[in-house]
Amino acid sequence: MIETIINRLLVSIPVLFGVLFLGFALVQLAPGDPAAVQAGPSATPEIVAKIREEMGLDQPMIVQFGRYIERLAHGDLGRSLISNKAVSSELAAAIVPTLELMFASLIWSIPLGIAMGTLAAVWRGSLIDRAIMAISVAGVSLPIFFICLLLIQFLGVKYPIFPFIGRGGPLWTVDGLRHIALPALSLGLIFIGPVSRMTRSSVLEVLRLDHVRTARAKGLTETQVILRHGLRNALIPVVTLVGLQIGYLLGGAVVTETIFSYPGIGRLAVGAILSADFPLAQGTILVLALGFILVNLIVDILYARLDPRVQKK
Amino acid sequence: MKKTLLLGCALAVLTGTAFAQEINIVREVDSNNYDPHKSTARAAAESLFMLGDTLVSLEPDMKTVTDGLAKSWEVSDDKMTYTFHLKDGIKFCDGRDMTADDVVYSLKRWIDPETKSPVAWRAGTVKDITAPDAKTVVYQLEEPFSELLYQLTQSFATVIDKNDVEKLGADFGVTGLNTTGPFCWGEWLPRDRMTMTRHEGYNWGPQFYTNKGAPHMAKVTWQIVPEENTRTVALMTDQSQVTQYIPQIAFAQMRNTPTVEVHRSDEAFWTWFIGFKVDKPTVSDPAVRRAMNMAVDQDALARDILFGEVTPAHSYISENALDWDPALNDKLIKYDPEAAIKLLDEAGWKPGADGIREKDGVKLRPNLYIQGGSTWQKLAEFVQAELLKVGIGLDIQVFDATVFWGKVATQEFDSFGMSYPYISAGDALNLYFLSKNIPTPNRMNWNDPETDEWLAEGRRATDDASRAAAYAKVLDKVHEAAVWLPLYHEPMTIVQSVKLEPIVPHNNYGAGLYKGLDLKYRE
Amino acid sequence: MSATDTQTPAAAPQDAAPVHKSWWRALMRDRAAMLALILLTIIVIAAIIAPLIAPHDPNLNSRSVMQPPVWTERGTWEFILGTDGQGRDILSRILYGTRLTLLIGLVAVGIGGVIGSGLGLLASMYPKIDPWVMRLNDMMLSFPAILLGLALVAVAGPGVWPVIVALGIASIPDCARIARSIGIGVMGQEYIEAGRAVGLSDWTIFRRYLLRNSISSIMIFLSLRFGQVILIGAALSFLGLGARPPASELGMMAAQGRDFLLFAPHIATIPSVVIFLIVLCANVAGDALRDVLDPRLKS
């Protein structure tokens, strides 16, 4: 087990380095002169040139990359060109809200998706199955922004139950919960579809396996069979799916956070990239990629725990 | 509708978003920082007017300069020396007494080349600024500057604390700001929100405010909400109690909504225009610029796109602004697409196969740089469609607000969209048409010795008539040359919850709430 | 990660030849899928012949803005789906917009499909390069599509092509992963060994066995991916990064309409619903194809 984890960690290092470089290169190529951004609206070209020199932007790219890595090693991510705040503090402020949003969207959508998928598998071919599958296929086909706008329109404006601007506070406070309700509902909705579809097909698959047939033959009730044998095995692909879909979820988070003015990392990343805020853009890309690698690592570990075949390997 | 709104109120009361002394203001964009000398964003001015004070301030009529930190002042006969007498008992948020030295330090930092302030020119040509005693500030100029007092009401002239600047370094105006204004810095989360708290003991506000003491509000939150529609419904559902950033489309509905009030002030000088870089192929031809002016129907723009809530503009500054020359009214270029077509034909721009005109192998496809955000997108698309009808293909390029300012400092565009606040003809003209302001803010590359001379004449003028005459000559020349395509003049419109006492809209630098001293919940 | 690869949804690592002949007939029996296919065909044809059937110039503004659709009280037959905030005919813009949206989806999926499945199949064929391809994949997967889109648009400026390229690149790792797992299944079959034994060249094996036996499964995955790509593309446009005015694109139209949501909801709703229909049809048809071609899931 530990060996698996160490192995995975070692493999992640070149990946991480590549991600670092890609992120650096992409924002380097971006238009929008960071010195001009720093200098502000009506600065003269001389002022811009002076700032460019101060920022080291006149150095060759490889030197700039080296400096970037060096600073990174010291935990220094630079300062935002726009707000002049330390990138690390901006990131720190944005990570928690995004984690909260992810948590709040997954905590209800995954169990619901699994339940729906299992129900559909058990009564496959029935009306329930068809209804559930229709709902989930519709769910994965809806544009996320449309869901957000509809939710605002109905639960925010027509029946003003939930606020839809910003973050009220930490998740455990009443205000925090009220504010996260609509974003988490929107983001969770796009996740129900994939989870229920995946659960259905993997439960179906598992139900056909030999040991399940044996269990059935031994006289266990259908419910017992499904809970004891089917679901556990069926969870494996679902776990993988969550890992694979985390990027999709992040994409959804970008739109959701933007529409709900929710101060998370997605909104920060969009703002930073669009405003040519180089250090902040690099920082957000780094954090998002790190998060992604981490999630995949966790998925692998969970996978190993859930699937005895992998453990034996 | 009424029922849902009632339900909304009930819920809002139940859930209690707004306590009696807290207010939530939504706005479209954030500032890049809150260092008074380094940000020219309207968002910075909005916050700085509340956080800080200036020597003098501006009344809501946008004409009268009145007391600020200074209770009175004298101007010498040669208009070169201004002497300000400070009020008593002024304190910074950290409790320290403010003295004339602080004022001198702040103003000098503004013009210090080391500060690299993009707006240093707004302070005039300073000879020296001194503090003969703790309550007196003497401001000496090299040459008369008729705009000086107005410029001193701007947020750039906010009095700051030297210790604060030195202590915070690069974090000055980012993690904190020690000021003397009605509110004190709370917390700033860039692109999300800024909070400020009441400055207890504050009693040196401008006389035109009803409230002579500290603000009624204990806490003010400025929340960034880029989405137009979201801002609108935020007001309707009482998640925000006041804003000046409601789209024009919503005004009619807002006026009919019992829970909100709309206040409009036409004493507002904020004009939207497209400027041409006059030395670029295509738009270097005055005939093209004139034709573009004739091809765009500003009245339709104001009526259809902005729902009749703005004044169509044919002039570069409002006709109500100081030193506008009414003699120009008849000479302004008006909508006349046929004439535009004729003018282009005569100038040798012939329609090509794709319907876009061309001349000597040059396609009439000027580009237009605009900043992101729904308003400019709509304006640009309208202008694009109008120009297409006379055979001009406008290529719209959108940039994020922060990148935009860097892009329009370059020479790479043919035209740019912008809107700006001003108080008088002199203010507007000296900013945009002076040749030494090329490439920015004179982004048109308008380089004309005559203009420079007349502008200098206007700045140095010591009486109103000769100043107006000098500026009138400039106005005539630039309008004749069609250097801009004016779109509309925007009034200041504030939408507020009825729970608040009615607000008198201000318009200094487009910051509708100005110092916020009279913000108060109804009792 | 490698252990998870054989469990991917569309994996059908078996000789699909016997089902192949009857899949069309099987599909015909699935009424929902048939409906989806018919609807999709209509949408595609309407988009292709947009210039012929559009009642108005999609870029021409009229002086009647925000006119509601014909079925509402104030609607007129002149503008069947109403007009947008600029007074342009929404029906015409939808027709042209669907064209562009479909194009974005098709080209992006095409790029991702060809490069991705090429890489994946090669990896399945040559175990030596497999780890490298997979690491490259992991790296690319670390850039969620939307982030890649943002970064590319930041470099190249907003436009259709940066979005297509971003979505194409973002589709590569997923396609490669799927193709690899499908390919591994195929490579384990006896006929490959048999082919090797009789001395067939790698190219022949690739073409005759590997490609032919994996292509249908890969295509199913791509059809499902198509919907996702359209959705992400629409989201990018919604954020203001896609097509540039005056061109019409469905995501952009929805984004433009959100400012009018309170007063003229049809401007944002109609393009959103069209996106939904396209993606829904692609998903339903893709699902049905998978059910037909992947007999393990059939009851």
CATH number at residue A156: 1.10.3720.10
Terminal Cα-to-Cα distance of chain B (whole angstroms): 27
Q: Which residues of A touch C258 (CB under 8 A)?
A: 145, 149
> Which residues on B lie below 8 Å from C59 (Cβ)?
385, 388
Identify the pLDDT of residue B364: 95
* Mean local confidence (pLDDT), A36-60: 72
Q: Is residue C42 part of a domain?
A: yes
Partner C contacted by A295 (CB < 8 A) = no
| A289 to chain B, closest Cα gap in Å | 22
DSSP state of B191: T
pLDDT beyond 70 at B277:
yes
Question: pLDDT digits over A224-272, tens only?
Answer: 777 766 677 767 777 777 777 777 787 788 889 988 889 898 888 877 7
The residues, any chain, with a CB within 8 Å of residue B363's CB and separated by 6 or more, are: B282, B352, B356, B357, B393
- Residues A145 and A38 both lie in one domain: no
Tell me the one-letter amino acid at C83: T
As given in the structure block, the two tokens for residue A290 are: 């790190």
- The pLDDT tens digits of the residues spanning A117-176 come to 888 988 888 899 989 988 988 988 999 999 998 998 888 888 888 888 888 888 888 888
Assigned architecture for domain B270-489? Roll (3.10)
Task: Assess if residue A31 is contained within a domain.
Answer: yes
The count of structural domains within chain C is 1
Q: Specify the pLDDT at position B514.
A: 95
B259 — pLDDT class (breaks 50, 70, 90): very high
Query: Range with the lowest mean pLDDT among A70-84, A107-121, A193-207, B386-400?
Result: A70-84
Apex CA A100: angle with CA A99 and CA A106, to 5°? Answer: 90
In a domain, C297, yes or no: no
What size, in residues, is chain A?
313
Pairing of strands B65-67, B311-312: unpaired
How confident is the model at residue B160, as a pLDDT?
96
Task: Mark yes or no for CB contact B385/C59 under 8 Å.
Answer: yes
- Partner B contacted by C60 (CB < 8 A): yes
What confidence score (pLDDT) does residue B155 get?
Answer: 95
Rounded Cα–Cα distance for residues C282 and B395 (Å)? 34
pLDDT of residue A85: 80
Say if A19 is an interface residue toward chain C (CB within 8 Å).
yes
Nearest-neighbour CA in chain C from A47: distance (Å): 25
A63 plus A173 within the same structural domain: no
If asked whether residues A49 and A118 sit together in one domain, one would say no
Please indicate, yes or no, whether residues A164 and A113 belong to a single structural domain of this protein.
yes
Give the neighbours of chain B: at least 3 Cβ pairs within 8 Å. A, C
**Mean pLDDT for the stretch of residues C196-222:** 82
The string of DSSP letters for B476-511 reads HHHHHTT-EEEEEEPPEEEEEETTBPPP----GGG-
Check whether residue A116 and residue A206 sit in a common domain.
yes
| C-beta atoms of B405 and A37 within 8 A | yes
As a whole number of angstroms, the distance between CA A95 and CA A93 comes to: 6
- Per-residue CA distances from B93 to A158, B106, B372, B416 (Å): 43, 16, 36, 41
What band does B398 get if pLDDT is binned at 50, 70 and 90?
confident
* Domain-embedded: residue C215: yes
What token pair was written down for B183? 């509110």
- Summarize pLDDT for B218-253 with one digit per residue, the tens: 999 999 888 888 899 899 889 999 999 998 888 988
Q: A207 to each of A121, A198, A199, A230, how far by Cα in Å?
A: 9, 14, 12, 6
For residue C18, being part of any structural domain is answered with no
Residue C100: pLDDT band (50, 70, 90) is very high
Q: Taking residues C106-111, what's their average pLDDT?
A: 93
Domain membership flag for residue C191:
yes
Contact check, Cβ <8 Å, B116/A93? no
The alpha carbon of residue B401 is apart from the nearest alpha carbon of chain A, in Å, by 7
Boundaries of domain holding C245: 29-55+66-273
Most confident of A83-92, B312-321, C160-169, C282-291: B312-321
Strands of B117-167, DSSP E: 126-133, 136-141
Q: Quick check: A140 contacting C, CB < 8 Å? A: yes
Contact C244 B396 (CB under 8 A): yes
Burial readout A54-81 (b: 16 or more C-beta within 10 A, e: otherwise): ebebeeeeeebbeebeeebeeeebbbbb
pLDDT at A175: 86
Pick from B381, B392, B396 the residue to mutate for testing the C interface (most C CBs within 10 Å): B381
Of the ranges A115-124, B318-327, B332-341, which is most confident?
B332-341
Number of domains in chain A: 2
What value does the mean pLDDT take over residues B368-381? 87
Higher-pLDDT residue of A291, B346: B346
Neighbours of C263 (CB within 10 A): 17
CA separation for the pair C243, B379 (Å, rounded) = 17
Of the candidates C240, C259, C260, the beta carbon closest to that of B398 is on C240
Read off the pLDDT band of B194 (50, 70, 90). very high
Residue C3 lies in a domain: no
A110 vs C: CB within 8 A: no
Region C280-292: mean pLDDT is 83
Measured between beta carbons, which residues in chain B are less than 8 angstroms from residue C156?
Answer: none
Nearest to residue B294, comparing CAs of B284, B302, B305, B286?
B286
Q: Is C258's CB within 8 Å of B382's CB?
A: no
Which stretches of B133-249 are DSSP H helices?
A: 148-151, 162-168, 228-236
Q: Crossing angle, helix C250-257 and helix A144-151, to 10 degrees?
A: 20
- For a pLDDT cut of 70, what percent of chain B falls above it? 96
Give the pLDDT score at C21.
52
- B391-420 residues touching A, CB cutoff 8 A: 399-403, 405-407, 409
Q: Are residues A203 and A56 in the same domain?
A: no
Q: How large is the average pLDDT for residues A5-22?
A: 74
Q: Is pLDDT of B282 > 70?
A: yes
Selecting from B190, B406, B437 the residue whose C-beta is nearest the C-beta of A37 gives B406
Residue A41, pLDDT score: 56
Which range, A115-124, B5-14, B371-380, B493-502, has the best average confidence (pLDDT)? B493-502
- Residue C224 to residue C212: CA distance in whole angstroms: 20
- Judging contacts by C-beta atoms under 8 Å, the chain C residues touching residue A247 are 141, 143-145
- Above 80 in pLDDT, residue B406? no
Which has the higher per-residue pLDDT, A141 or A310? A141
**Can you give the pLDDT at residue B93?**
96
Residue with tokens 């020119």: B121
Q: Which residue has the higher pLDDT, B276 or A34?
A: B276
Which of A:239-278 have CB within 8 Å of C? 240-241, 243-244, 246-248, 250-252, 254-255, 258, 269-270, 273-274, 276
Give the pLDDT confidence score for residue B18 in this predicted structure.
45
pLDDT of residue B153: 95
Q: Which residues of B444-466 are buried (b: 16+ CB within 10 A; e: fewer)?
A: bbbebeebbebbebbbebeeeee
Query: What is the pairing mode between strands B56-58 and B65-67?
Result: antiparallel
CATH of the structural domain B2-264+492-510, one choice from 3.40.50.360, 3.30.365.10, 3.40.190.10, 2.40.50.140: 3.40.190.10
Name the residue in chain C with its Cα closest to that of B395.
C245
pLDDT reported for residue C152: 76
The per-residue pLDDT for C8 is 38
pLDDT at B210 over 60: yes
Contacts C135 to A, Cβ<8 Å: 11, 14-15
Determine, yes or no, domain membership for A253: yes
Mind giving me the DSSP string for C202-240? HHHHIIIIIIHHHHHHHHHHHHHHHHHHHHHHHHHHHTT
Return the domain boundaries, chain B.
Answer: 2-264+492-510, 270-489
CA dist B164 and B160 (Å) reads 8
Rounded CA separation A28/C154 (Å) = 10
B318 with B273: CB under 8 angstroms?
A: no
Q: Among candidates C261, C239, C263, which has minimal Cα distance to C252?
A: C239
Q: How far is C204 from chain A (nearest CA, A)?
A: 33
Give the H/E segment covering residue B6: helix B2-15
Range of the domain at A135: 87-311
Name the closest residue on chain C to residue A298, using Cα atoms: C1
Judge whether residue B10 has pLDDT over 50: no
Distance of residue A198 Cα from the nearest chain C Cα, in angstroms: 7
Contact A231, A118 (CB under 8 A): yes
Which H or E element spans position C185?
A: helix C160-187
| Interface-testing mutation among A27, A37, A42, A81, with chain B (most B C-beta atoms within 10 A) | A42
Average pLDDT, chain A: 80
Whether the CB-CB separation of B425 and B323 falls below 8 Å is answered with yes
Q: The tokens of B349 are what?
A: 């721009």
Statement to judge: residues A107 and A166 lie in one domain:
yes
C20 occurs within a structural domain: no
Per residue in A190-216, pLDDT (tens digit) is 888 888 888 888 888 777 776 667 777
A100 and A228 assigned to the same domain: yes
Is B495's pLDDT higher than 90? yes
Peptide bond into B486 cis (omega under 30): no
B contacts of A263 (beta carbons < 8 Å)? 189, 191-193
Residue in the block written with tokens 């535009």 = B340
Q: Check whether residue A196 and residue A283 sit in a common domain.
A: yes
- To the nearest whole angstrom, how far is the Cα of C79 from the nearest Cα of chain A? 24
Among candidate residues B140, B409, C172, the one with its CA nearest the CA of residue A247: C172
pLDDT tens-digit readout, B130-147 = 999 999 999 999 988 888
Long-range CB pairs of A64-70 (<8 Å, 24+ gap) are A64/A28, A65/A21, A65/A24, A68/A24, A68/A282, A69/A20
Among residues C179, C146, C180, C178, which one has the least CA distance to residue C163?
Answer: C146
pLDDT one-digit tens code per residue, B442-494: 999 999 999 999 999 998 888 889 999 999 999 999 999 999 999 999 999 99
Domain-located, residue A78? no
CB contact under 8 A, C299 and A310: no
In a domain, A79, yes or no: no
User: Which pLDDT score is estimated for A39?
Assistant: 67
Q: Do A42 and B192 touch (CB under 8 A)?
A: no
- In chain B, the residue whose alpha carbon lies closest to the alpha carbon of C260 is B229
Residue C10: per-residue pLDDT = 40
| CA closest to B26 among chain A residues | A165
- Taking an 8 Å cut-off on Cβ atoms, the answer to whether A300 and C4 are in contact is yes
- State the distance between the two ends of chain A, measured CA to CA, in whole angstroms: 10
CATH at residue C244:
1.10.3720.10
What's the mean per-residue pLDDT of chain B?
90
Domain boundary among A35, A50, A73: A73
Whether the per-residue pLDDT at C48 is higher than 90: the answer is yes
B19, exposed or middle or buried, with CB in 10 Å at 0-12, 13-18, 19+?
exposed
Query: Measuring CA to CA, which residue among B274, B276, B239, B278 is closest to residue B260?
Result: B239
CA distance A62 to B29: 35
Range from B96-105, B469-478, C150-159 carrying the lowest mean pLDDT: C150-159
A266 or C44, which is more confident?
C44
pLDDT at C14 over 70: no
Per-residue pLDDT tens digits for A100-113:
999 999 999 989 99
pLDDT, residue B19, reads 54
Contact residues on chain B for C261, CB-CB shorter than 8 A: 229
- Per the domain annotation, does A82 fall within a domain? no
**Is C32 within 8 Å of chain B by CB?**
no
Predicted local distance difference test score (pLDDT) of residue B433: 95
Q: What is the pLDDT of residues B66-91, one digit of tens each?
A: 999 999 999 999 999 999 999 999 99
Quick one: which H or E segment has residue A303? helix A278-306
On the question of pLDDT at C267 being above 60, the answer is: yes
**pLDDT for the residue numbered B298:** 96
Strands (DSSP E) contained in A59-141 are: none
The answer for residues whose C-beta is within 8 angstroms of residue A222's C-beta and 6 or more apart is A122, A216
Q: How many C-beta neighbours within 10 Å does residue A172 have?
A: 8
pLDDT value for B7: 46
Lowest mean pLDDT among A3-12, A148-157, B416-425: A3-12
